[in-house]
């Protein structure tokens, strides 16, 4: 089945961004990475102060995320297929985003959930923090993000299971093996 929208989900450090970008390049989809977008729009005075809390591992309120989604998606042609990484992270975001996309004419949606045990996530995030010097990868910020993830993602996952074709992928193998598993699950040759 061909999809118009693919959500890449999973715990932090599972390789969502890496796999989402590869998939977008392969399929000619727009890669809509919410975390990278938030880091990039810090120069926007309207959002800069609110975004500063992200560095401490705090998630932005749904209304701010929804405003950003509305603004950014308004300029995307409805013929453009999209891969979303980092959104929805809470049920309020999912309740907005899926009907919004359906209203714009998108129909076939899939979720690729890259599952990764917590201890593997922690190891990968420590390595990423060291290699990329990301401000949001401090030990305290990582711990807070895990707490938010545990509180919010189960409901989001259930919502995505009910609204999209839900595909679960083991995130423990090498990135190349994970990519092959995603391709096979999506029917990409």
pLDDT tens figures, 87-126 = 999 999 999 999 999 999 999 999 999 999 999 998 888 8
We report the CATH number of the domain holding residue 16 as 3.40.50.300
pLDDT tens figures, 65-89 = 999 899 899 999 999 999 999 999 9
Overall domain count for the chain: 1
User: Could you tell me the CA-to-CA distances from 93 to 62, 88, 111, 152, 186 in Å, in that order?
Assistant: 6, 5, 15, 11, 25
- Domain limits for position 26: 5-186
Structure confidence at residue 45 (pLDDT): 59
Of the pLDDT bands very low, low, confident and very high (cuts 50, 70, 90), residue 36 is: confident
8 A C-beta contact, residue 4 and residue 81: yes
Question: What does pTM read for this prediction?
Answer: 0.88
Structure tokens at 162: 């009910």
Structure confidence at residue 46 (pLDDT): 61
d(CA 43, CA 147): 28
The average pLDDT across 54-66 equals: 73
């Amino acid at each position: 089945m061909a999809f118009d929208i693919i959500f890449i989900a999973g715990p932090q450090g599972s390789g969502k961004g890496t796999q989402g970008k590869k998939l977008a390049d392969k399929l000619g989809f727009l890669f809509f990475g919410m975390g990278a977008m938030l880091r990039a729009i810090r120069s926007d005075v309207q959002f800069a102060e609110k975004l500063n809390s992200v560095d401490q591992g705090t998630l932005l309120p749904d209304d701010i995320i929804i405003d950003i989604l509305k603004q950014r998606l308004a300029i995307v042609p409805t013929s453009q297929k999209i891969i979303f990484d980092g959104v929805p992270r809470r049920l309020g975001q999912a309740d907005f985003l899926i009907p919004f996309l359906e209203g714009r004419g998108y129909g076939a949606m899939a979720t690729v959930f890259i599952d990764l045990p917590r201890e593997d996530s922690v190891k990968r995030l420590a390595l990423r923090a060291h290699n990329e010097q990301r401000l949001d990868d401090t030990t305290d910020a990582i711990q807070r993000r895990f707490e938010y993830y545990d509180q919010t993602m189960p409901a989001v996952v259930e919502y995505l299971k009910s609204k999209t074709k839900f595909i679960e992928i083991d995130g423990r193998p090498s990135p190349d093996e994970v990519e092959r598993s995603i391709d096979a699950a999506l029917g990409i040759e």
